[in-house]
Amino acid sequence: MTFSYSRSYRGPIQAVLLDWAGTTMDFGCCAPAVVFMEVFQRQGVPITLEEARVPMGAHKRVHIQSIGRLESVRRRWNEKHGRDPGEEDVDKMFAEFIPKQIECLSTYSELIPGTLEVVGELRRRGIKIGSTTGYTTEMMAVNLRDGERQGYKPDSTVCASEVPAGRPFPHMCLQNVINLNVSAVAACVKVDDTVPGVEEGLSAGMWTIGLAVSGNEVGLNLQDWNALPKAVQEAKRQRAYVRMHQCGSHYVVDSIADLIPCIDDIQARIHRGEAP
């Protein structure tokens, strides 16, 4: 054959899949970080806020396991217990994590500025709103209730505990494709504040937008972020942009409030025949 032909999706964006903590609520993604610190403290191995944040985005049990595998934590665990943290330790800490996380979620569940406006604009364009999260179903019940109370209710929510594997596997994104009855993964955009969350979207064959300032990468609540001197803000912003770009995000912006220009650009690229 002299020529070959390939097809490309040229239709409308059908769905935007939004992460929860650090994307639509909990500016700085603070709720999980403080509880991870608490459960390690209870085992006599205090961890830093930075260590608590490294695996952010993963299923919360996987997250605990990953903290235990950080070289610095593993060393201190050995000093305290004379061995590496094992599966039983992870199970024990996860069991303690669940009620503590549920207890404090509402303290951090305020919507991130711009969420309602952007979701409203996406809906006006006929785009469905899906969501994925590293939280379990019972934790999400709290966030869903608090989100709805503030006027945010996605059409689909898939939790890490509802699929065979959480991020960076594509399963939660693909379950949203099914739930929302979307015809092509290339018609979807995944938005997330963490590296595994962007990788999840890429693994699913979707467009991705990384959020640099509102989530885990900067890791400060809105008040603390606003209180920073401009030069310090800029240094933290730059570091976060590099991190989110290097994991393969098609776009990186500060927060969900900056989403619409990216959506416009993605739609134009789809019309031209570009694929994620």
Q: Which is nearer to Mg ion, 175 or 194 (CB)?
A: 194
In the beta sheet, which residues pair with residue 25? 21, 111
- Our finding on whether 38 is near Mg ion (CB under 5 A) is no
- Our finding on whether 25 is near Mg ion (CB under 5 A) is no
Which helix (H) or strand (E) covers residue 28, if one does?
A: none
What are the Cα distances from residue 96, in Å, to 36, 43, 112, 169? 10, 11, 28, 26
Q: Which is nearer to Mg ion, 182 or 211 (CB)?
A: 211
Amino acid at position 208, single letter: T
Stretch binding Mg ion (CB under 5 A), from 185-193, 204-212, 243-251, 268-276: 185-193
Q: Which is nearer to Mg ion, 184 or 257 (CB)?
A: 257
* CA dist., res. 74 & res. 45, Å (int): 9
Stretch binding Mg ion (CB under 5 A), from 37-45, 118-126, 173-181, 186-194: 186-194
* CA dist., res. 11 & res. 20, Å (int): 27
Note if 100 is an active site residue: no
Count of CB atoms situated within 10 Å of the CB of 56: 25
For the bound state, the minimum distance from the C-beta of residue 116 to Mg ion, rounded and expressed in Å, comes to 18
For the bound state, the minimum distance from the C-beta of residue 44 to Mg ion, rounded and expressed in Å, comes to 29
Mask: binding to Mg ion, 214-253, rule CB under 5 A, as x and -?
----------------------------------------
Using CB under 5 A, which of 19, 38, 200, 258 touches Mg ion? 19
Q: Catalytic one among 26, 60, 236, 258?
A: 60
- Our finding on whether 199 is near Mg ion (CB under 5 A) is no
- Our finding on whether 22 is near Mg ion (CB under 5 A) is yes
In the beta sheet, which residues pair with residue 209? 191, 251
Structure tokens belonging to residue 217: 């990468």
Structure tokens belonging to residue 162: 């509802």
- Our finding on whether 26 is near Mg ion (CB under 5 A) is no
What are the Cα distances from residue 225, in Å, to 65, 76, 215? 29, 31, 11
For the bound state, the minimum distance from the C-beta of residue 193 to Mg ion, rounded and expressed in Å, comes to 4
**Nearest alpha carbon to residue 243 among 61, 47, 65, 54:** 54
* CA dist., res. 271 & res. 173, Å (int): 23
Stretch binding Mg ion (CB under 5 A), from 32-40, 99-107, 189-197, 204-212: 189-197
Residues with active-site annotation: 19, 60
The residues of the shown chain that bind Mg ion, judged by CB under 5 A, are 19, 21-22, 193
